[in-house]
Structure 1
Amino acid sequence: MTAAESSTAPALLPTSIVGSLPKPSWLAQPEVLWSPWKLEDAALVEGKQDALRVAVQEQTRRGIDIVSDGEQTRQHFVTTFIEHLSGVDFEQRETVRIRDRYDASVPTVVGSVSRERPVFVDDATFLRASTDRPIKWALPGPMTMVDTLYDAHYKSREKLAWEFATILNQEAKELEAAGVDIIQFDEPSFNVFFDEVQDWGVAALERAAEGLKAETAVHICYGYGIKANTDWKATLGSQWRQYEESFPLLQQSTIDIVSLECHHSHVPMDLIELVRGKKVMLGAIDVANQAIETPEEVADTLRKALTFVDAENLIPSTNCGMAPFPRDVALKKLSALSAGTDIIREELAVEQT
């Protein structure tokens, strides 16, 4: 199937991306996280929509089947959502340890958190009108939201997470009504706070997804390819077994899709077996290295994964977001993802004849 063909995702191995794509240089400074906008007011709204439209066109042209916004309308995958909530003061900042990995200046929860109005629904509506393909929208997960703030009000990570889960559920239901096919919750914190994942993390995630008819996904990765994350990865040894903690819980959960980092990581491939029966969004593109994967490298990663996940449940994807990359690198990686997936589709077709 070529990018110009069917408006629906293929029955086998539909490709997608996890999150961000690089923003155009006229919108924000390239290759920088939290980059400030270069436009203001009405020009910024128009610029974000133009960038979103380009992201859709590039994904389609390069064979991505389940299209997302590439996070073109937000500065950060967590804080942009939080900016729109009551009860959080962005002027009152404290330094906290993010995911037990690096220090950052973060806003403070000063009162009861609430969502006064939809945050991403207008952007999702624009995305829905920009493509006939299935669309996916990412939201931060409750635990990762908690870990990106200083809480001076609830004084309980669990209680704050449940408040966020309720707010996320409100947003998710409106995204579903706007035509979003897959709603993804980003929970990199699941790779760090194992006791909390077991005690309340998965339950809060299920609360965020409660009552949705759209498919739901949880993305758990080892982070963007920034120094704080690559330094942390260097301490994890020859095997990264963090998924061993969360996967059995997620296998029993109501979440439909589990998204994980795989290519060029030290995650043992057989850990995928722990979520047997779920759909698996498998990272077959490295986001910590600018080298462009060959189609055969992508195919080899997918081929190995098929030992542990049925083909009808495999969604080839990226390890994480690609915002810090040069745009041409990110786009070439999308093409590699599609080309490698095509190799496996052809192999599977031959097996079935």
Structure 2
Amino acid sequence: MKTLLPTSIAGSLPKPAWLAQPETLWSPWKLPEDELAEGKLDALRLAVQNQLLSGIDIVSDGEQSRQHFVTTFIEHLNGVDFEKRKTVKIRNRYDASVPVVVDAVTRPEAVFVKDAKFLRQLTSQPIKWALPGPMTMIDTLYDDHYKSREALAWEFAKILNQEAKELEAAGVDIIQFDEPAFNVFFDEVNDWGIAALERAVEGLKCETAVHICYGYGIKANTEWKKTLGDEWRQYESVFPKLQKSSIDIVSLECQNSRVPMDLIELIRGKKVMVGAIDVATSTIETPQEVAHTLRNALKFVDADKLYPSTNCGMTPLSRRIAAGKMQALSAGAAIVRGELA
């Protein structure tokens, strides 16, 4: 029988201290090269165990084998020079030194498929895998080859589609594309961003999701949020077109954010992954707080289409806090499940 209100995490979990520096984004690996591959799989196994112990229904890898949700994928592609770097403004918010696209981008081999097969062996529960979306990928690079954001996004969409098809074949039930850039470049999203995303999911039979958040709880993001006013209506710009798209699930940020819940009405008919855990604070939500967020969401989405989740990834948090937040998510979903029954 299908679980009502199946819980999942949006993306990353904190890595063990022996693998990478805790509570740090983009933290370098601590293990030597000959031990690293095995260490990453050990961390993945722990991430799965932590999710299962916390009562999470749809299990993911917690992004244990990637330093960064975008660049780790790009590192495996041809046409991008990581030695040659340029400074760009990421999502119009903060400067970052990024690699340069110097030639046609291609994917010589699968990037995450081996890890996904390993994840599939660890649990009989549904599994989800996150990939960066095409628009967020181009926003994390300097393009010296295509000279067109749209053209580069389209090439990435084709590459992502190849990867997604192999992930599906490896037994992944939900493939999620992370598109925080959708909250910034509204005209581009509607002109070609959603079309590029649909190219990435072309021909897939598994469920597909797009995750659109306001970012990790880092200073640049929290400062940006302060400028957004009393109501965050960014989703209003992209939801109408997403509602008509072939994407199955839309993942959005709701806990402690100023996103008006009624914006979910704009994606009526889609499954909605509702962020009911705030990743920008170390305060662990109570199950009652999670339940309150889910009840509010249920005014705008049918119960069989509501997927309780976290706002974003939890890499910058401690492992203890992340575990507490996952437990709160499960307990809050259980409260609402009981009420619906």
TM bucket normalised to smaller: over 0.9
Give, in angstroms, the shift of residue 40 of structure 1: 2.2
Determine if the alignment matches structure 1 residue 305 to structure 2 residue 297: yes
- Structure 1 range deviating more: 242-251 or 41-50: 41-50
Counterpart selection for 1:338 from 310, 330, 335? 330
Q: 2:167 aligns with which of 172, 175, 180?
A: 175
Residue 316 of structure 2 corresponds to residue 324 of structure 1: yes
Counterpart code for 2:258: H
| Alpha-carbon distance in structure 2 between the residues aligned to 1:148 and 1:41 | 26
- Given candidates 245, 270, 277, the residue that maps to 1:278 is 270
Structure 1 CA distance for aligned equivalents of residues 130 and 284 of structure 2: 25
8, 13, 24: which one aligns with 1:16: 8
Quote the Cα distance in structure 2 between the aligned partners of 1:203 and 1:296. 39
In the TM superposition, residue 234 of structure 1 has moved relative to its aligned partner by 0.3
User: How far, CA to CA, are the matches of 2:33 and 2:112 in structure 1?
Assistant: 17
Deviations 1:166-223 (A, max 9, x none): 0000000000000000000000000000000010000000000000001000000000
Q: Which moved more, 1:89-98 or 1:32-41?
A: 32-41
Q: Secondary structure at the match of 2:323?
A: helix
The structure 1 segments of at least 4 consecutive aligned residues displaced by more than 3 Å after TM superposition are none
Work out the CA distance in 1 between the residues paired with 2:288 and 2:34: 45
Q: Which residue of 2 aligns with 1:149?
A: 141
Structure 1 position 41, deviation (Å): 2.5
Q: 1:58 aligns with which of 50, 65, 69?
A: 50
Match of 1:120 in 2: 112
Q: Aligned partners of 1:291 and 1:34: how far apart in 2?
A: 23
CA distance in 1, matches of 2:324, 2:260: 27
Deviations 1:82-126 (A, max 9, x none): 000000000000000100111100000000000000000000010
1:315 equivalenced with 2:316 (yes/no): no
1:99 and 2:91 are equivalent in the alignment:
yes
Q: Which structure 1 residue ranges, 5 or more long, are not aligned?
A: 1-7
Computed over aligned residues only, the root mean square deviation of the Cα atoms, in angstroms, reads 0.6
The DSSP-based 3-state class of the residue aligned with 1:90 is strand
Query: What TM-score, normalized to structure 1?
Result: 0.96
Partner of 1:4: none
Q: Report the counterpart of residue 103 of structure 2 in structure 1.
A: 111
Equivalent of 2:68 in 67, 76, 92? 76
- Mapped to 1, the partners of 2:214 and 2:158 lie a distance apart of 26
d(CA) in 1 for partners of 2:169 and 2:133?
A: 20
Aligned AA (1:32): T
Q: Distance in 2 between matches of 1:302 and 1:104?
A: 36
What corresponds to 1:196 in structure 2? Answer: 188
- The letter of the residue matching 2:335 is I
Which TM-score applies when normalising by structure 2?
0.99
Counterpart for residue 279 of structure 2: 287
Question: 2:289 and 2:215 mapped to 1: Cα distance?
Answer: 21
3-state SS, counterpart of residue 100 of structure 2: strand
Aligned with 2:228 (options 224, 236, 250): 236
SS at match of 1:299: helix
Give aligned pairs, total.
Answer: 341
* Secondary structure in 1 matching 2:9: coil
How far off is 1:42 after superposition?
A: 3.1
**Residue in structure 2 matched with residue 164 of structure 1 by the alignment:** 156
SS in 1 for 2:88: strand
1:275 Cα deviation from its structure 2 partner = 0.4
> Structure 2 residue aligned with 1:218, among 193, 210, 224?
210
CA distance in 2, matches of 1:289, 1:31: 12
One-letter code aligned to 1:12: L
Distance 2:77 2:37 in 1: 20
Structure 1 SS opposite 2:104: strand
